[in-house]
Structure 1
């Protein structure tokens, strides 16, 4: 016996449902903005049972390599605090005793696992913990990621330093056919050296940072990026540009070196491009809290220049500000 079933579809009612279905698929496939990625991860629970569970949630919530890479950065930087005590008093590690390559690799992996576990379970780490934890979660989320080590410059006393110190770690991650740079340690906040205290402050600047800006503060151990050598002396002598809302917009054409050598009474010419509109430009004097306001000349639509006379009112370091926002720091070497 055969049955014929007739289904009476009301297409007028069906069309809105079909439209909603396809719109939902379309919106699901669209790339999220950085702000959308950040806000979603900020709503994640503070605790996950394992890095695998966190990685799986990120894989479900985010579809592209870029989204997943950023989501992991957001979670790590917003949940792991810098371990100031461990940094000031490093734990003395016993030398690894091993007789074969495999045995040495196993022992090294045990130490690495302990660092990752401390960062994930106790939310405490120094740079190695941040970078190892990021690598672990990223690999579990299906990304190709490396831990890089090298030198870092993060204060005025690093200007003109003579030697490279392999003292910092960060990550590179392969996203959409390109390697991008990130530093989860510096993206998590900052340490007040006077108070010896860490302050959590999420900073997206150190995710997918432009190489020209990243290598103003980082020097890889192998001395190169994507096969291009990075000049060690130029790196050590570069002007210090603090991270703020203007960092990625302006360009200092003169002087590019962070060490200014002048005789007493000589002038230094500064040329800066692409600054936002500002009301005042000033520089610090030797006496704390005192500033001078040079005459600023506008050259064309997007360039300014000004001069500073090197006199006895200038201190060892010269800090330049526009509208009270710190623009750059130079080291002054005065010759008679």
Structure 2
């Protein structure tokens, strides 16, 4: 039954995607906004359906708010830190904190995840869309394969569209952070808009498991490979869904990949060798990682020079 429901959701999102091009084009033509209320008023004026308003908010934030590298390393725009005496006092102070964060984000056009998620929620509230902020753990590197989720690593959203909750990560819509270079590259990515919960789970685990919106466990999350955004944005699917793979010394390991297009080229690289090697896919969509002394550390599979998925190599 889960597969049928998942298929219906993917079809629903696929049908909706026909509207995205016009919504995105309209939002990209907007003048610069530094006031969230004025932006929300413009979105409410231009778009009437839940999905169009949510997409407009997602696209505007994803194309206008840069990831704040300075705040990332200083945590100036990071977690919530204040004292309170009662639950009511806590709620009041959190609302004030987030409102201030929204204003700061709109003014500076920079944020880290709390700023992105707070702005998304605020704009949803101003356009009559129910939305929540979801704290949790993200998987952002192959080095996290095998690690159980912990609290307070990342923040994203859920928005209710036509009566159903949908998962959103507008921080990851904005671009790519290269931690080793301490650099942010703006590249709009819509893979995290109304994502199928089973795909969203591949690199998000909420502190409150109810926001998984699927029946998965922390142990399953830890065991996952590291999936790059290319995987979520594409139809490519690889049959190996465990992050640690045993590679015998004298035997190749066979994988299967689905939905390659004619002309797609497959490569792999290991962290020890750091050299791309071409892979040959047979008529049954199989390819083999051959036995080699360079198989240690981590293995990353590429399609057309774009990273798709990474695994931890276990030598047998």
Alignment TM-score, normalising by the size of structure 2: 0.86
Aligned CA-pair RMSD = 2.4
Distance 1:226 1:334 in 2: 33
Q: 1:63 to 1:261 in 2, by over 3 A?
A: same
When structure 1 is superposed on structure 2, of 166-175 and 324-333 the one drifting more is 324-333
Counterpart of 2:257 in structure 1 is 272
Partner residue, 2:244? 259
Where 1:311 maps in the other structure, the secondary structure is coil
Matched, 1:168 2:154: yes
Which of residues 43, 61, 64 in structure 2 aligns to 1:76?
61
1:303-318 superposed matches below 5 A: 304-318=285-299
User: CA 1:70–1:220 in 2, change beyond 3 Å: closer, same or farther?
Assistant: same
What is the distance in 1 between the residues matched to 2:88 and 2:288?
61
Distance in 1, matches of 2:159 and 2:293, equals 48
CA change 1:226–1:233 in 2 (3 A) is closer
Structure 1 counterpart of 2:46, from 37, 55, 61:
61
Which entry has the higher C-alpha Rg, 1 or 2?
A: 1
Match of 1:112 among 98, 112, 115: 98
Q: Distance in 2 between matches of 1:163 and 1:173?
A: 23
- Name the residue aligned to 1:21: none
Contact 1:285 1:292 in 2 (8 A): no
In the comparison of the two structures, how many residue pairs are matched?
299
Greater relative contact order (CA < 8 Å, ≥ 6 in sequence): 2
Of stretches 81-90 and 127-136 in structure 1, the one that deviates more from structure 2 is 81-90
User: Which residues in structure 2 correspond to 1:1-336 (within 5 Å)?
Assistant: 33-48=19-34, 50-91=35-76, 96-225=82-211, 228-244=214-230, 247-253=233-239, 255-278=240-263, 280-285=265-270, 288-299=273-284, 304-335=285-316
Q: Is the 8 A contact 2:270 2:299 kept in 1?
A: yes
User: Which structure 2 residue ranges, 5 or more long, are not aligned?
Assistant: 1-16
**In structure 2, C-alpha distance between the alignment counterparts of 1:36 and 1:94, rounded to whole Å:** 37
Which sections of structure 1, spanning at least 5 residues, go unmatched?
1-30
Aligned counterparts of 2:82 and 2:279: Cα–Cα separation in 1: 59
Alpha-carbon distance in 2 for matches of 1:113, 1:197? 27
